[in-house]
Amino acid sequence: MTGNYWTIGLALAALAGGSRPPAAPAPPTTPVCAAQKAAAEGGHHQAVIRGIFLAGLEGDYLVGSGCIGQSTFVVFDLNSLRLRGKLDRMANASNQAEHVRGDGNPVMVVFQGEFFGPPLPDPKLPEKIRRIYHPTWGPQGHGATKLEVHAIVSVAPVPANSPCAPPKGRSRDSPCFR
């Protein structure tokens, strides 16, 4: 009878955490510019991406100081709303203060999700057009790449010394988005 209690005790200890597998290491954080450069046309992969988030009426984008003029279209498909409220408050601070709707303030973020390279041209197009036509993501065609965000890892103000920091007095401007 004592052997049964011993077996049950071992089983409960194992269930309580005595034999948990080690946690998977967190994937490395990739700057958005590096992810854009490495993106293969038609490809996609899981990634943790760092950049400057820009919210706007036409869409949400991620930019970086090393690739001014290039942007990644952002789509939210969150598994958790953790930090979403903070991101929205920081991105819309100027709009709320001025009681207007429009482009938001730039915000430094780290997002985890699925990173997509440039979309492939429609195979039904003639070959000559497919060679010169480069489709983009987003309603305005600004995003050569796309990030489907599943988790918000961190949210912070853009450092004042960042090349992407808005000029004084113009909090909604971002020199990294053209």
C-alpha–C-alpha distance, residues 10 and 132, integer Å:
66
Q: Which residues have C-beta within 8 Å of that of residue 58, sequence separation ≥ 6?
A: 138, 139, 140, 142
10 Å Cβ neighbour count for 111? 29
Which residue did the predictor score with more confidence, 96 or 64?
64
Q: Give counts: helices (H), strands (E), the chain.
A: 5, 6
Q: Taking the CA atoms of 4, 6, 12 and 18 in sequence, report the sign of the dihedral they define.
A: negative
Q: How far apart are CA 146 and CA 39, in angstroms?
A: 10
**pLDDT, greater one: 164 or 16:** 164
Residue 158 pLDDT class (50, 70, 90 cuts): confident
pLDDT given at position 10:
47
What is the predicted pLDDT for the residue at 92? 82
Range of lowest pLDDT (26-40, 94-108, 113-127): 94-108
pLDDT for residue 112: 96
* Position with higher pLDDT, 178 vs 175: 175
User: Is residue 28 over pLDDT 80?
Assistant: yes
Sequence ranges of the domains in the chain: 29-157
Going by the DSSP 8-state scheme, the letter that residue 18 receives in this structure is: I
